Amino acid sequence: LPYVRRTRGGNQPRRLHRSTGSFTAQVETTFQDQHDGDTKNVSSAAGILALRQDGIWNTTASLDAACSATVDFSTTAKPDQPPVPLRVAVSVLTGADKASRVIMTWTDPSGSLAAAGYPLNIWEDVGTA
């Protein structure tokens, strides 16, 4: 994903930021879905986050200035859809080994599935799609 900001030491997550007010790079990568136990493909271009599971479902959502988006899975063919739209925050985590990983943290802003802001799921970047 574009405009990755790395942290210096520690395991502090940092949000991806728009440095010019728009996303211009297009990157596609595979993420491990910790909740479902499978992989999803994610790309971003021009401020749009595209999510898909090959041959099953796909959707898009607009990224805001904090690299977050609201995703409504009810518009997809995804099995076991969440009953409410979810919020995803895209961040970079850098460990003491200096290796960085893009993570996507999913929450329910409505508070229906868990307290608003409480993480429901994490997708971790595991490589290029």
Token pair for 22: 């728009």
pLDDT value at residue 88: 96
d(CA 123, CA 101): 10
> How would you classify the pairing of strands 57-62 and 68-71?
unpaired
Q: Which is higher by pLDDT, 66 or 5?
A: 66
Q: pTM of the predicted model, to two decimals?
A: 0.78
One DSSP character per residue, 14-61 reads EE---SSSS----EEEEEEETTTTEEEEEEEETTEEEEEETTTEEEEE
Name the percent of the chain lying above pLDDT 90: 55
53 has pLDDT over 90: yes
Mean pLDDT, the chain, integer: 80
Cα 31 to chain centroid distance, Å, stands at 9
What average pLDDT does the segment 110-115 reach? 95
